[in-house]
Chain A
Amino acid sequence: MSVLAVAEQRDGVFRKVTYEALSEGKRLADGMGSDLVALVLGSNIENAAGELGKYGAERILVAEHEALAEYLTDQYTKVAAEAIAAENPEVVILGASTQGKDLSARLSARLGAPLAMECVAVRVENGNVVATRPMYGGKVIAEVALNGKPQMVAIRPNAMSIVETQGAGNVEKLAVDPGESVLQFVEKKLETGKVELTEADIVVSGGRGMGGSDYAVVEKLAELLGGAVGASRSAVDEGWRPHSDQVGQTGKVVSPNLYIACGISGAIQHLAGMSSSKVIVAINKDAEAPIFSKADYGIVGDLFEIVPVLTEEIAKVKG
């Protein structure tokens, strides 16, 4: 019996959600009286893989091949499916990142395995996984029971805590056959230094109240807080921010510790994407804006006056 956590790395560096998946996987494995096994796919990753023992992995299966340097759906699916079939775990857990979503959807179809996407809590009842996951863009929280083997859960980034527990961490290299890919990787363009919205502990968002594409006040506050900048759909539609910054039912769902909404009215589609944040702050010049009814703290005022002084005051308390 085992719980298998699929690790995700990019260019040899594990993503934060990997540690979340392992920690949660370890908790499930303990509850089931079984072991946590990690599976790592990539090229040149054997050295980095050993680190996963820190999060409770008893064994670390390393699927190393130069063809796996970049994520390609078909080769990753093939290699992961074969490793999972050989290991025969009860539960497969992985992060619901863009890669994890793509991989888990295809894996579930290949393995005929039940899949719960974007889970925010997971428990095992009588050997079956019951996963808690938002639906309708966060307007409903559902519990879904999975039936079958393996049962697959993709966890929402930032929703589960990272817990360090030392496992044996024995590295086992797998014999890997990625086959020929029908896909061709062309290139990857990354914005360096940008904090990913879905992984950020703090998000500062600007809406139509920003009045234009100059987000300097919001960016400065986000930078001081080590957070990410988000936007409402209106700001994105105006062309002030890229689509990848959109928070909401048809954008990204975020659940940071702190969400600061600047010049955002609080439309139902926006709220769907951020209302699971731990603490919400709203800054809006309209005292009647619906966002205030969801915010823990609100300031009524012009964001261009408030945000710069707030940045100074926060710098002071942070020391």
Chain B
Amino acid sequence: MEILVLLKQVPDTESIIMIGDDGRSIKTADLKWVINPYDEFAVEEALRIREAQGGKVTIVSVGTDKAVEAIRTALAMGADEGVLINDPAIAGIDGLATARILAAAVKQIPYDLIIAGMRAVDDDNFQVGSAVAELLEIPSVSMVIKEELDDGKIRCHRTIEGGIEVVEASLPALFTTQRGLNEPRYASLPGIMKAKKKPLETKTLVDIGLDASVAEQTTVNIVAMQPPPERKGGRIIEGETAQEKAAELARLLHEEAKVL
């Protein structure tokens, strides 16, 4: 089974995000970068499938030089190869342009199954995985918490409001991960040593048959960024007993906040 994982490097979720001086990007200097948590699920699931069925796991990422770390971490977890599409033209592109680049890159690699995250926790677009599948004209199932492969088919349990839905697709197919799918392993020390020797190829847009015009097709542009409205700590409700505090809170919610 040839499995591709679409992997993005993002700021650690612990990060405090500061807005840059241009007012429409973030300050990146002090950030710690990690594999997008949903893509970590994707790597883990790919490894489990390979362990069960044999095959190869290839990481595909669009990013800058820095993204090499994230790919190496995935290789240290156990993935076999990495491909980084790194090109100066790529800065500031939108989700659809990213999907076009990924689709072009993926077309150069044999695959039976592609796994992506349901969302990247930086732009929160919830878009790129399904868009890549659309561009490749293969089936996609999003927000998957369980999958079973059998006889050229993949049966996916996907989360929907208030429950789950089970859908089957024939391979090749793409699915996107949802929390609950698995618990990603940590990279072991031998894994980290081995990862250093694993193939990691960097490609430009031209190498994948595109040019800068793909980036110019960006039609979603960030024009401003703001911190969310500052929440100030409000009132700590005092009282002698639990009863007194609870009664006062109920009154405030009813009369002052008017939410009851």
Listed in ascending order, the chain A residues whose CB lies under 8 Å from chain B are 15, 70-74, 77, 96-99, 101-102, 104-106, 108-110, 112-118, 130, 133-148, 182-191, 194, 196, 198-199, 202, 225, 242-244, 246, 249-251, 257-258, 268-269, 272, 275-276, 278-281, 287, 292-302, 305-306, 309-310, 312-314, 316-318
Contacts and interface: CB of A to CB of B under 8 A. Distances in A.
Q: Enumerate the 6 nearest inter-chain pairs by beta-carbon distance, A residue then B residue, closest first.
A: A243-B180, A105-B130, A190-B163, A109-B134, A114-B219, A313-B250
B244 to A, nearest CB: 9
Name which of A106, A133, A269 has the most chain B CB atoms within 10 A of its CB: A106
Interface of B: 11, 13-17, 19, 24, 26, 37-38, 94-96, 99, 121-135, 139-143, 145, 155, 158-170, 178-180, 219-228, 231-237, 242-243, 245-247, 249-254, 257, 259-260
9 contacts: A70-B165, A101-B126, A138-B228, A140-B227, A183-B168, A191-B163, A258-B257, A281-B253, A287-B236
Nearest to A102: B142
Contacts of B227: 139-141
Contact of B223 (A97, A130, A198, A268): A130
A102 to B, nearest CB: 5
A244 B253 contact: no
Contacts of B220: 114-116, 144-147
A268 B14 contact: yes
A279 B257 contact: yes
B221 A144 contact: yes
Given A142-B224, A297-B252, A314-B260, A105 B126 contact: yes
Given A96-B126, A118-B126, A136 B221 contact: no
A151 B34 CA distance: 32
Name which of A114, A146, A269, A275 has the most chain B CB atoms within 10 A of its CB: A114
Contact of A109 (B17, B99, B170, B249): B99
Given A118-B126, A182-B169, A269 B96 contact: no
B126 A117 contact: yes
